[in-house]
Chains A and B, each alone.
Chain A
């Protein structure tokens, strides 16, 4: 009893402390999740709700070729974004860390520049990159490519594959800062002796990176990959402003797909079934993350 008291200062009921939070979560998260599960098993439309149980929404979803291509697009978008964001973030973090070790001024400017891109609202990022990928003669990237190939006719956003690449580039631009900041924090607490030992052992820079730095930072990198993956699966506003999912549906990732199914096609049941896929991804990733941080905590 004494021991319990000293470790936990208060033994009374915690309910009143948690109640406001619980109520708000009930309204904004729990009820909607419950509803989306229910709606996904109906043939509801946005105009007419049905309560009859049906798996038709899932059946038509899984049978539709659009669904398969949407999943493929989402996977490409997420995979490429995560790989490049984390590795670029890693590279920039290493650069800033070793730059400030050399006593170089201006590493702060680099950090600020990368972070500024992250701080912008996704809609603004979308609008800005749409301008960057303008296919007019006065478009900056058009002009840049024409330095090499004067006859270049840009199709950055009007042709499916380039549009997907352009979307990924914009997303890397926006998201790199997050990985950079996490990894930079890890580098700052990196045990110096390890590096010095490696240098004494005549390990070259590449060996030091792969044999010392990356293994030591591995837990942090895993957390970083997990968090970036969840965030990227949820991407919506950037693409809504930049491509709107087009041309056609070539940049329609899952969140945009849910939106279109419900608000353009009015197919509430099918949209809810698609939302269930994203919900499952969200919960599964959270589970991995939670297990992982709970494991490192002990």
Chain B
């Protein structure tokens, strides 16, 4: 009796294993295939039969990409744009979320609604007027003006998420700080921010992953190839290398996602918590 139930458990576990493996294969194989492509020779790319893995992995393909394209420059631009925009968005969003959590004012609900609209807005809708505005102000094709746009596009999520986070901090703590004579700013700096550090970190990491992939804004608001972030740079490579071969494009894709994947694997917990809290909390 005991052995049959054990057998049954084993059988069910095996079913789980098979299903799990199928899910993993579906989600991982496109990336593995890209990786395999990036290590192939040209004849291998065009072989008559499918070749899962190259005979001799051509690591030199990566060297060629790094040397002959602007990919390192694109990566550097992405790092600059993403990191500065995250600092900026935290600077403007933390005080705002604090006020939305702690102050009472009449326009609060419409304000929160408007911010939510901005979060749901397609970048394609606003980028054309922005392009015209930037042209007329003479700030088109500038990294700093693009960084402001990145920060703005990250602000709605950050504000909603951090407001939710501040809401969970007991009001008694503010009260205590106030009795000690602390100003609101002091209270934010020495009470709220220290408590909210995990939330702020989660936001920053999620924003890093998301803004790394921003595409519409940089592709319209930049012109100079030297300024492009990797998302747009990759498409640039795709259109210029189409006539040649795809193994360099595959290698470039792998290089482009390496920082995101690393960041994602190391900080997965933070990303998951920011994603769920951001959507479910009011």
| A22 vs chain B, min Cβ distance (A) | 8
B99 touches A18 (CB 8 A): yes
B268 contact from A115, A120, A255, Cβ within 8 A: A115
B125 touches A282 (CB 8 A): yes
A113 on the interface (CB 8 Å rule)? yes
Q: Pick the interface stretch among A24-32, A60-68, A154-162, A191-199.
A: A24-32
A28 touches B171 (CB 8 A): no
Q: What class of interface size applies to chain B in its complex with A?
A: 35 or more
B143 on the interface (CB 8 Å rule)? no
B20 contact from A25, A95, A259, Cβ within 8 A: A95
Query: What is the chain A residue whose CB lies nearest that of B212?
Result: A121
Interface 1/0s, chain B 248-277, versus A by CB < 8 A? 011001001100110011001001100110
B residues less than 8 Å from A31 (CB atoms) = 129, 133
B128 touches A271 (CB 8 A): yes
What's the count of A-B pairs with C-beta under 8 Å?
289
Interface 1/0s, chain A 269-298, versus B by CB < 8 A? 001100100110011011101100110110
| B62 vs chain A, min Cβ distance (A) | 16
Q: Which of A159-215 contact B (CB under 8 A)?
A: 173, 176, 178, 181-182, 185
Point out which of B34, B102, B103, B212 has the most chain A C-beta atoms below 10 A from its C-beta: B103
A129 contact from B30, B123, B124, B149, Cβ within 8 A: B30
A21 on the interface (CB 8 Å rule)? yes
Q: What class of interface size applies to chain A in its complex with B?
A: 35 or more
A265 on the interface (CB 8 Å rule)? no
B residues less than 8 Å from A230 (CB atoms) = 120
> Can you offer 26 A-B residue contacts whose CB atoms are under 8 A?
A12-B103, A21-B96, A25-B114, A28-B148, A29-B118, A31-B129, A35-B133, A104-B13, A104-B16, A106-B20, A110-B20, A121-B234, A123-B232, A131-B37, A137-B49, A138-B46, A138-B48, A138-B51, A224-B279, A237-B215, A240-B215, A241-B238, A262-B128, A275-B128, A278-B125, A286-B120
Q: Give B contacts to A, CB under 8 Å.
A: 12-13, 16-17, 19-20, 23-24, 26-31, 33-34, 37, 45-51, 91-93, 95-96, 98-100, 102-105, 109, 111-130, 132-133, 148-149, 151-153, 155, 159, 171, 174-175, 178, 184, 187, 209, 212-213, 215-216, 220, 230-232, 234-235, 238, 246, 249-250, 253, 256-257, 260-261, 264-265, 268, 271-272, 275-276, 279-280, 282
